[in-house]
Structure 1
Amino acid sequence: MKNENPGVQFVAITAENAGQRIDNFLRTFLKGVPKSMIYRILRKGEVRVNKKRIKPEYKLEEGDDIRIPPVRVSGQEAPEVSPKLDKVAQLERAVIYEDEAILVLNKPSGTAVHGGSGLNFGVIEGLRALRPDARFLELVHRLDRDTSGVLLIAKKRSALRSLHEQLREKGMQKDYLALVRGQWPSHTKSVKAPLLKNILQSGERVVRVSSEGKPSETRFKVEERYQHGSLVKASPITGRTHQIRVHTLHAGHPIAFDDRYGDSEFDRQLAKTGLNRLFLHAAAITFTHPSTGETLRLEAPMDEKLRRCLAILRQDKP
């Protein structure tokens, strides 16, 4: 069997990216890589979809399996990430479960899942430095850079396929905790609002509710109430970009310290808690183990900053 180059990445396309042209997808995925290089690797057949060569105008379909070759910018080797770096050591401490098929992290807030956009460090780069002998390490799903909590990584291609199928078939449950503005109504148990993603010239992604968007649903449950806000459990049924952040905003209850969809007055009300990061935490994930078939529920504790914020808010309960 031919050994795959360790720099090669495999990406399974979810509903979120279906319908997008492969060249546009690669320009977003390989941020910082010149357009000319993207078209060169497409032309030379180094990018494969379902093991076949494709043209730049090929439109992605849900379930497509993309092979992306290692790409060097300006003839330079990508900088190696030393396992001694603080961030990499932090990732090692963040591992909450690992076996031969999967690895689960409690991702720290402020760490991107992938390098790019001017960042030379992400979860995947860090894990590859920590596990240099691992032949396969790929994200099963993503978390926004400022969102903390459970992040699932596949260590085998077969595990990645199985877990992506569970995502597509809605067989995986993800539960988040979010601190939102105001008193979330107990009767609002679900927000269904179609979401449309726009990519700005800067490469920044901005999502809004639009009838032209993709169907999206998040279920909500109030966990605690405070004088100025509510702690809610948010369980996304679909997996759109920024879904929970935009759905809470749409419901009139934006998340604390959301720099894109938040409310500065609400953030000021929380000043005494010392909070200065997005209060969105992936608290738990439930799925079927791809090798054993058993149901796993893994939980990630909140970091000290979030716990301290809630402890202070509990003193002022309405």
Structure 2
Amino acid sequence: MSGVQTRTVKDDEAGMRLDRWFKAHFPSVRHGELEKFLRKGQVRVSGGRAKSNRRLEPGDEIRIPPLDSSRAAKKQRQFSVEDQQEIRKLILYEDESLIALNKPFGLAVQGGEKTRRHIDGMLASVTKDGERPRLVHRLDKDTGGLMLVAKTRPAAQRLSDMFKGRDIEKTYWALVNGMPRPREGTIDLPIAKRMVRIGDGEQERVVPADGETAKKAVSHYQIIEEAGVVSFLAMQPVTGRTHQLRVHAAAMGCPVVGDGKYGSAQSRIEGVSQKLHLFCRSMSFPHPKSGRRMTLQAPLTGHMRETWSFFAFNGEATCEWPEELK
């Protein structure tokens, strides 16, 4: 049958499940389509039938059936050229192990029911030698800035472990309404997801909480500059909870500008964009392969760059965290 191809499992893919291997190499093929290929014997491992949970070994040869007629393959062809050009524009740094992107505000990291265009899908267009770049952490859709992507499976595992183990120091820039006092400090405030009443209904929110379901959340902050009623803050999340910085800023009485979800009317400032003013500025971490400590940073983009110009804030400002806060 024309279009059939064979891929050989690499050493660093030892122990990987077949379905996860397939997703890494052919991300546009849905799990249901893979199961159908397996039932019909169109996908085989080393000449034999296999199940999706089969653990692979180095040297296994995987038969891939023609994918040109599948709906998923057609979708991949539609976005690959455009998205390859777009993702390349976002790259700040790249080597054999990782890619650093400057994620635009408003672009989702992963897809959903109503999200067709996202970073994860765009990464499929820069697959090289059968190796698809992998997500290792997330940024909220409305947050912009520095984002790391692994190019190999070992790098993905190492970076994921570093994010979980807090070996990566992240600094965010935020514009907040108000002037936190003291000017530099630590917010140690547990948070949890709760259903809260919003208008006539209920919605899920991350809120300060206590009890068994509350998760420890710690953030450092310092004022870099002030202008009228607003402050340019550097914030460092020690823990990596969902919406942590936004909730902590609001808990100080200084919500992030544009954060209608947690700051309500206080998050609106006349004269600047009403979009969320939160940006991942830099990360410092050991390189996943060499172990050498490296620091990467992203230049401000979009509405935050315009706001920084409006207030004449220093877009090249540096932030030194005191040793006792590290």
The alpha-carbon deviation at position 264 of structure 1 amounts to 2.5
Residues of 2 paired with 1:90 and 1:226: CA distance? 35
**For residues 220 and 93 of structure 1, do their structure 2 counterparts lie closer, same or farther at Cα, with a shift above 3 Å needed?**
same
Tell me which amino acid in the other structure corresponds to 1:120.
R
Q: Which consecutive residues of structure 1, in runs of 5 or more, have no partner in the other structure?
A: 11-32, 38-43, 53-74
Q: Which amino acid counterpart does residue 125 of structure 2 have in structure 1?
A: A
Assess, with a 3 A threshold, how the Cα gap between structure 1 residues 47 and 145 changes in structure 2: closer, same or farther.
farther
Which residue in the other structure is 2:207 paired with? 208
Structure 1 residue 157, shift from structure 2 partner: 1.1
Measure, in 2, the Cα distance between the counterparts of 1:173 and 1:181: 25
Whether contact under 8 Å (2:126, 2:132) holds in the other structure is no
Structure possessing the higher radius of gyration over alpha carbons: 2
Hey, what does 2:220 align to over in structure 1?
219
Q: Which residue of 2 aligns with 1:2?
A: 9
What does residue 162 of structure 1 align with?
A: 158
Q: TM-score, normalised by structure 2?
A: 0.70
Give the percent of matched residue pairs that are identical in Structure 1 and Structure 2. 27
CA drift at 1:9: 5.1
Match of 1:263 in 2: 264
* Alignment correspondent of 2:243: 242
Check 1:286–1:119 CA distance in 2 against 1; reply closer, same or farther (3 A cut): same
RMSD between superposed Cα atoms in Å: 3.1
- Report the 3-state secondary structure (helix = DSSP H, G, I; strand = E; otherwise coil) of the residue aligned with 2:72: coil
Residues 199, 148 of structure 1: CA spacing in aligned structure 2 closer, same or farther, 3 A cutoff? farther
- Verify the 8 A CA contact 1:178 1:281 in the aligned structure 2: yes
- The range that moved more, 305-314 or 171-180, is 305-314
Give the match's secondary structure for 2:262: coil
Q: How many residue pairs get matched?
A: 255
Q: Distance in 2 between matches of 1:103 and 1:233?
A: 24
**How many angstroms apart in 1 are the aligned matches of 2:130 and 2:193?**
34
**Contact conserved, 2:190 with 2:216, CA < 8 A, in 1?**
yes
Where in structure 2 are the equivalents of 1:115-130 lying within 5 Å? 115-130=111-126
- Report deviation, 1:263: 3.0
Q: Matched residues in 1 for 2:216 and 2:302: separation?
A: 35
Deviations 1:77-114 (A, max 9, x none): 373252343x6533211100111110110000011111
Question: What is the Cα deviation at residue 133 of structure 1?
Answer: 4.2
Report the residue type matching 2:223 in the other structure.
V
Contact 1:178 1:231 in 2 (8 A): yes
**Normalization by structure 1: what TM-score?**
0.71
In structure 2, stretches of 5+ residues that fail to align are 1-7, 11-17, 26-30, 36-49, 57-69, 314-326
Counterpart Cα distance in 2 of 1:199 and 1:93:
39
Is residue 291 of structure 1 aligned with residue 289 of structure 2? yes
Corresponding residue of 1:229: 230
> Quick one: which amino acid aligns to residue 255 of structure 2?
P
Q: Evaluate the alpha carbon distance shift between residue 237 and residue 96 of structure 1 in structure 2; reply closer, same or farther with a 3 A threshold.
A: same
Q: Is the 8 A contact 2:191 2:207 kept in 1?
A: yes
